[in-house]
Structure 1
């Protein structure tokens, strides 16, 4: 009798321990970060596009929360990813690399990514797609990701069609197999669906980092033709050409003003299809109620080119000003949608400001993992916003020490956003602008002369932030001179 009692008690505690472990495991939500390349804040129907069809992204917004004031950490690919993965402003990463004397990779191996942090907390981790932060030895596998699929060091795929060529001097880790007619977006999605099914029993983090909708602008012809017909039916000229009539001169660049590129629209549709397939895979796997899906992008859409540049561009971010490469809102604003069943009210919109460094601490809090404030020093969790709170985030800072006036028509600048007000200090032109984003989202009216006290106070804080992180002006000037092939003259003609 005593033995049976001991056995019963032992069995009871064993079952209880297993139940607790199961509950604890269930409390760790799966996290899918759907990260789109060169995808503007107006490239989705739910953000105002009447041309692009994004039914799955729209459904994600209807089932979750859409952020109206989300930003990237930087309006270019590499620095934006530095901020996303590290939780640090890109200028901080750059200065730390200078101080350490180590520049092997764009993202130093000493930085602990959110992939490493969640792996340490018991997550399976997967990275699919564009990396752009390091060559061999600096790939996602060295930064906390167990599974890597077609993760390239280059900024773009050579082609979206088989055999997915690679730029000279770059590499792709664990390249995807393909055959004639295969489209990279589809093949990457195949692997994502397989990963969800294979790992449905354990908490996982999956970063789906699409090469789309970055150049080359390529898509299946049948989908492209759908949008060409849509344009003709609406009486709108088919765009995407170097001589599109809707270009307007905007300072140092030319900016597109109409969404009428049918191939780009087809790329967006294929990327939207990818999200839909992943959402269906999550449902089929029976883990929808315990899976978070975050959709965002690395910066605004490619809408601006240099005055002497004759290439066609992809889209317009209007009414936001300019696009990729620019410190104006068209370059830095991005879509952000979060679905988290049981935690985020469906069909809601948040006006809380979020920037690219903020995803790191937010994902840790979502998972219940310990924060790493010494790492994500420039990130601010937006978990409170996801729970429905409205509050003012502290000031957001951008240090755009790089410029490509010949390519995307942009020059160097520093910027500070405090609430509704945005200050830009143009480095080479040496002047300051102040905008009230609540009434001037297109940044057309400079208020610096009308509000000198606010402009001066914000400029003082902006310059103090620059000095506290580190001065990159001389480095940026030299890089720009090398880019433009000049050595002695002012690179912007001043």
Structure 2
């Protein structure tokens, strides 16, 4: 009897001790955090208050920067949209693929279905994968029939779910596509799309200015949808056409629903907002809020969307198990095809911050963009000067989820993205309008190129010259002093490095 009492006491004491230990231990994080990439369109280095903007206040984007890691040397691969999105998803420099240029809305898919992508890699790790928002990487294999299943597309390169616009808001077709099918299509009103000639009887921005609610400045004078002239021609599909002013809310709801439906399993979401790309069509709630016209208004709208999305993660109880990566596809542009007061109402705001250039430019403002990583409770708030690029996400995320990946140009910087290391890349090749340059350490080398020095339509310097350019960003962030003549040793070193990465072919692009 005495033995049984002692045995009972030991068992009870052991259970109590075990519970006591488990109560004092910090709850372990699941092995597979949710991963969200929030990607903006034409957002400049100086457009966020966290990056120095004083005329615009972006509290929700700032939260990601101030409570996560704010990278001061974070880059897109390219100064334009399609190439950057290609590099982001594939981990491959876009200049390696001649098809990775700004695409029309009717272009075929430029990512091979055999190619490695972030969603493919994450699916191998057990993730459910989705995209909501802008695609602009082509659809189909040519001569797309928009009235049937459209493939190949996002679903064929790794996404389990996709809800997208095919190209850009200023290009036809002006419809949403859900998992390969046009959303809301009336089969009795089939869609026709052409980037060569108009369809008989269809009004255009060029010939029917009286029908416009937004006037075109350059290049946007084809088919009119919702009073807005677009690039390219479209006929039919009236029931499926989107409402421009509701687009932000529409995509936000899709992103929120995706989170709610998949919160009980590890998921990846590529949430590709279209702000502040043209046409800038803020919801009436945001019209006039910035005092800078539609461009400022849609930046505030995007900031609000991000805040609402974050609330959803919190309400669903998964914020602390979600890694959020925030960036932009390229630098800023003001007048990019429409008269919308972006220049006239700019005031003291500087979309590029201290950087020179902008969208389309080899100067820093073309590819250096806002770049943050946020993971509540895991990433400690900090500022990092490490050189990082969006192409590095493939190899880095593969390391995070412990799977092998075909990394190509992608480098594993996961420790840097988590704030455990201050080291970044040694070298990065950047691209703008099919021309390339090298960032190496604190230096930038731009080879000589022929062509216009300024894109006069948008009033942005291309960053090209008939001579080599060499800048020390540590002492000259605004790239005002070309040191090529003073530092021939450094110039030669960077030329050799550039050639090792690019190969001999780069010389064929030079102006000498």
Instruction: Give the TM-score of the pair, scaled to structure 1.
Output: 0.73
How far 1:360 moved relative to its partner?
A: 1.4
Give 3-state SS (helix, strand or coil) of 2:373's partner: strand
Q: 1:150–1:472: structure 2 CA closer, same or farther, 3 Å change rule?
A: farther
* Cα distance in 2 between the residues matched to 1:283 and 1:439: 42
- Describe the superposition over 1:127-180 as per-residue Cα deviations: whole angstroms up to 9, x where unpaired: 011111112323211111011113413464668999799864689xxx98967x
Q: How many residues align?
A: 398
Please list, as runs of the form range in 1=range in 2, the aligned pairs for 1:95-494 lying within 5 A after superposition.
104-136=108-140, 137-154=151-168, 156=170, 168=232, 183-228=246-291, 261-303=292-334, 316-345=351-380, 347-366=381-400, 368-372=401-405, 375-385=406-416, 386-400=418-432, 402=434, 413-428=435-450, 429-467=465-503, 470-471=505-506, 473=508
Tell which structure's C-alpha radius of gyration is larger. 2
Residue in structure 2 matched with residue 19 of structure 1 by the alignment:
none
Asked whether the 8 Å contact 2:447–2:467 carries over to 1, the reply is: yes
Q: Point out where structure 2 has 5 or more consecutive residues left out of the alignment.
A: 1-26, 102-106, 141-150, 176-212, 214-224, 344-349, 451-464
Stretch deviating more after TM superposition (334-343 or 38-47): 334-343
How far 1:59 moved relative to its partner?
A: 1.4
Give 3-state SS (helix, strand or coil) of 2:490's partner: helix
* Cα distance in 1 between the residues matched to 2:323 and 2:441: 28
* Cα distance in 2 between the residues matched to 1:431 and 1:138: 43
Residue in structure 2 matched with residue 40 of structure 1 by the alignment:
44
Asked whether the 8 Å contact 2:294–2:340 carries over to 1, the reply is: no
Asked whether the 8 Å contact 1:154–1:167 carries over to 2, the reply is: no
Stretch deviating more after TM superposition (277-286 or 427-436): 427-436
Residue in structure 2 matched with residue 239 of structure 1 by the alignment:
none
- Describe the superposition over 1:183-205 as per-residue Cα deviations: whole angstroms up to 9, x where unpaired: 20111001111111111000000
Give 3-state SS (helix, strand or coil) of 2:439's partner: strand
- Describe the superposition over 1:190-240 as per-residue Cα deviations: whole angstroms up to 9, x where unpaired: 111111111100000001011221111221345232322xxxxxxxxxxxx
- Describe the superposition over 1:293-334 as per-residue Cα deviations: whole angstroms up to 9, x where unpaired: 11101111114879xx99965663131101001010111111
* Cα distance in 1 between the residues matched to 2:227 and 2:303: 20
Residue in structure 1 matched with residue 77 of structure 2 by the alignment:
73
* Cα distance in 2 between the residues matched to 1:204 and 1:169: 37
> Which of the two has greater helix per residue?
1
Give 3-state SS (helix, strand or coil) of 2:422's partner: coil
**Cα RMSD (Å):** 3.4
